[in-house]
Amino acid sequence: MSFPKRALIKELLASQPGTAVTLAGWVKTVRVSKGGFSFVTVNDGTCQASIQVVADKVLPNYEGEVSRLLAGASVLVRGDLVASQGKGQTVEVKASEVTVLGKADETFPIQPKKHTMEFLREVAHLRPRTNLFGAVARVRNEVCRAIHEFFQGESFLYVNTPIITASDCEGAGQMFRVSTLDPAQPPRTPEGTVDYAQDFFSKQAFLTVSGQLEGETYACALGRIYTFGPTFRAENSNTPRHLAEFWMVEPEAAFADLDDDADLAERFLKHIFRSVLARCPEDLKFLAERNDPTLVDTLKAIVDSDFARLSYTEAVELLKASGKAFEFPVSWGMDLQTEHERWLTEEKFKKPVIVMNYPAKIKAFYMRLNDDAAQHGGEPTVAAMDVLMPKIGEIIGGSQREDRLELLESRLKAQGLEPEDYWWYLDLRRYGSVPHAGFGLGLERAVQFVTGMSNIRDVIPYPRVPRSAEF
């Protein structure tokens, strides 16, 4: 026997009255009327709106159960879809049967009132029952669908790169260790250091900070690939834009340079925004009312216009000439801080900005070295590009890759990394090296941008941040 076939509430709300229906969901609100009936609003997560169920006292369980329903309970309802007399909905369900599947009591934390975001993080297992987190979850789903749609449409192959890895892609040493050694009594080498040769993988292993290096190996065989998976960074950043565990999308294309990479990034972001505008109009309307009244217009404007593009050197000059008193004063060679990225996107250009060709010394070893040291007092730049968004700052980081063996080896050494550890990555430059480029999009930053949510912890179901891994 299977569960009774139910209609989805999103379908019912778009249907004509006059049919018999079965639905199931969770009770949002209950209003018991003096006239001997109750209005129960029910949501099943398929859309922002709930459906109103009218339950009459003639129902056999009206007194005992239905009129006592509380927010959070689950119900199975049979009845007729009828035109609604009330405001706010065109159809409602006149119940002929209400089965209470699971009761709830007054302790249910998600009451129909406004809760703080901090409180909702403490009940992250129940916050998807709120209108807000339902909307965010549906938009996140559409962003993921759009990501696959875009790359599949451009003949990129989806490749799954490993989560456990021995190499540090960003060379920044921000990796979580994966080990089965007993931390209280690890085996020691004669010199007294921990003997990782006796660990599970016979060497040190970590959670990946990026699938790029492995992604490059497939791009340099299959042409165009993308990875899309969880990524981990043990950086102690307590900001509204950083997570210790986040999802990253990383396309990699052979026979492509930095301009191709920037073009791809711009087309890609526009496709995501266009898809969410087309597929989530009600959720976006709700999110705009709650988070930012300009949200929908901003997304539409971005889809219809070109991103600004400029070099890092030009960006630094503009920032210096801005007359703004930044917390971090700007000089050539420094990394751009969020305040600088926001000035460029929100005040100077008022749209997304792609900054290209950053100083080599602030970027990862794998970025292709430009031949321009003479122009910046002996400091070369690399073929890097970051896409910056209003409010968010950096949403995409990417580059053309160093495809020349000797230069790549010397860049590794210059950053204190051992070329031998990257032997397989260097092989790509030994056998049929080609110009290639790629980038990484932080999924949560993209969801933050399209939902207008101010904290990244509220766009991933279970945020992992310093000192917090509940659930």
- Min dist CB 246 to Mg ion, Å, is 12
141: part of which helix (H) or strand (E)? Answer: helix 131-153
The answer to whether 366 and 382 are in contact (CB under 8 A) is no
**260 touches ligand 4AD (CB under 6 A):** no
Smaller CB separation from ligand 4AD, 129 or 233: 233
Decide: helix, strand or coil at residue 190. coil
Query: How far apart are the C-alpha atoms of 445 and 240, rounded to whole Å?
Result: 10
Query: How far apart are the C-alpha atoms of 40 and 100, rounded to whole Å?
Result: 12
**440 touches Mg ion (CB under 5 A):** no
Q: String of b and e for 222-235 (b: at least 16 CB within 10 Å)? A: ebbbbbbbebbbee
Q: Which letter does DSSP use for residue 343 in this model? A: I
Decide: helix, strand or coil at residue 30. strand
- Of these partners, Mg ion, ligand 4AD, none, which one is at the site of residue 250 (CB under 5 to 8 Å by kind)? ligand 4AD
Stretch that binds Mg ion, among 66-74, 188-196, 397-405, 462-470 (CB under 5 A): 397-405
Smaller CB separation from ligand 4AD, 246 or 286: 246
What tokens appear for 345 in the block? 């996107």
The answer to whether 237 and 209 are in contact (CB under 8 A) is no
**394 touches ligand 4AD (CB under 6 A):** yes
- Residues 189-228, one symbol each (x = binds ligand 4AD by CB under 6 A, - = not), give ---------------------x-x----------------
- Of these partners, ligand 4AD, Mg ion, none, which one is at the site of residue 266 (CB under 5 to 8 Å by kind)? none
Encoded amino acid at 297, one letter: D
- Of these partners, ligand 4AD, Mg ion, none, which one is at the site of residue 458 (CB under 5 to 8 Å by kind)? none
Q: Residues in contact with ligand 4AD, total (CB under 6 A)? A: 23
- Min dist CB 456 to Mg ion, Å, is 15
- Min dist CB 171 to ligand 4AD, Å, is 10
- Of these partners, ligand 4AD, Mg ion, none, which one is at the site of residue 224 (CB under 5 to 8 Å by kind)? none
Cα separations in angstroms, 100 against 3, 25, 26, 388 = 14, 10, 10, 50
The answer to whether 226 and 250 are in contact (CB under 8 A) is yes
Stretch that binds ligand 4AD, among 144-152, 263-271, 315-323, 440-448 (CB under 6 A): 440-448
Smaller CB separation from Mg ion, 390 or 397: 397
Q: Which residue has the tokens 């969880």?
A: 230
- Of these partners, ligand 4AD, Mg ion, none, which one is at the site of residue 259 (CB under 5 to 8 Å by kind)? none
Encoded amino acid at 387, one letter: V
Query: How far apart are the C-alpha atoms of 290 and 298, rounded to whole Å?
Result: 15
**393 touches ligand 4AD (CB under 6 A):** no
- Min dist CB 118 to ligand 4AD, Å, is 19
Q: Which listed residue (92, 142, 402, 444) binds ligand 4AD by CB under 6 A?
A: 444
Q: Which listed residue (251, 359, 393, 397) binds Mg ion by CB under 5 A?
A: 397
Q: Which listed residue (79, 390, 442, 463) binds ligand 4AD by CB under 6 A?
A: 442
Q: Which residues contact 49 (CB under 8 A, 6 or more apart)?
A: 9, 13, 43, 89, 282
- Min dist CB 376 to ligand 4AD, Å, is 22
Residue 393: strand pairing partners: 389
Smaller CB separation from Mg ion, 146 or 169: 169
- Of these partners, Mg ion, ligand 4AD, none, which one is at the site of residue 363 (CB under 5 to 8 Å by kind)? none
Burial class (CB in 10 A: 0-12, 13-18, 19+), 312: buried
- CA proximity to 265, closest of 128, 391, 446, 434: 446
Stretch that binds ligand 4AD, among 4-12, 115-123, 153-161, 432-440 (CB under 6 A): 432-440
**398 touches ligand 4AD (CB under 6 A):** yes
Stretch that binds ligand 4AD, among 195-203, 311-319, 389-397, 410-418 (CB under 6 A): 389-397
- CA proximity to 329, closest of 309, 343, 349: 343
- Of these partners, Mg ion, ligand 4AD, none, which one is at the site of residue 56 (CB under 5 to 8 Å by kind)? none
In 324-420, DSSP assigns E strands to 353-359, 381-389, 393-400
- Min dist CB 115 to ligand 4AD, Å, is 25
| DSSP string for 49-113 | --EEEEEETTSTTTTTTGGG--TT-EEEEEEEEEE--STT-SEEEEEEEEEEEE---TT-S--SS
Q: Which listed residue (40, 132, 169, 459) binds ligand 4AD by CB under 6 A?
A: 169
Query: How far apart are the C-alpha atoms of 354 and 71, rounded to whole Å?
Result: 47
Residues making contact with ligand 4AD (CB under 6 A): 169-170, 210, 212, 233, 235, 242-243, 246, 248, 250, 394-399, 438-440, 442, 444-445
Residues making contact with Mg ion (CB under 5 A): 397
